[in-house]
Each structure stands twice: as structure tokens, then as C-alpha cells.
Amino acid sequence: MLSLTKAIEVVYERGVFRPLGRVELPEGTRGVVVIEEDVDAVVAKVDKLVKEKGIAIEDDPLEALIRGRR
């Protein structure tokens, strides 16, 4: 299957993704929305939760992730 990728900046409001600019697609075109999060913000959230819950992390998180994917 061959596919083309088009990036369309959107905002999520009241349960609907609304484009922030002009979109030149035929009516009824289907697509997939991929949400990108700022990695630093996600890491900060995880660090906060780890501290709040008193979780002890004894392994290097990257090494644990790699082991889990094998």
C-alpha cells in the first residue's frame, strides 16, 4: 500500500479536531491524526508521578525499555 503524508496542524476542541489553516482535500477524505507530545513535558509528568507515589526506580529506564522490547 502506497500512502502520502500531509501534516495538518489541528486543535482539539469540544470533541472535534479543527484544522488551524486551510485544508485542500476532497470532501470525505479520511486520515489519521497523530498526536505529538513534547518529550520533556512527558518526562516531567512521569518524574512527578514517581516522586508522588514514592516509586523506587532501580534500573536505568532506557535499559529496562530495551529489555522489554526484546
- Dump pLDDT digits (tens) for 35-56: 888 888 888 888 888 888 887 7
pLDDT over 90 (residue 27) = yes
pTM value surpassing 0.85: no
Grid cell at residue 69 = 522490547
* C-alpha closest to that of 8 among 16, 22, 26: 22
**Whole-angstrom distance, CA of residue 12 vs CA of residue 5:** 20
Q: Rounded CA gap, 3 and 55, in Å?
A: 43
Can you read off the three cell numbers belonging to residue 38? 513534547
Report the pLDDT value the prediction gives residue 17, as an integer from 0 to 100: 94
How far apart are alpha carbons 28 and 30 in whole angstroms? 6
pLDDT band with cut points at 50, 70 and 90 for residue 57: confident
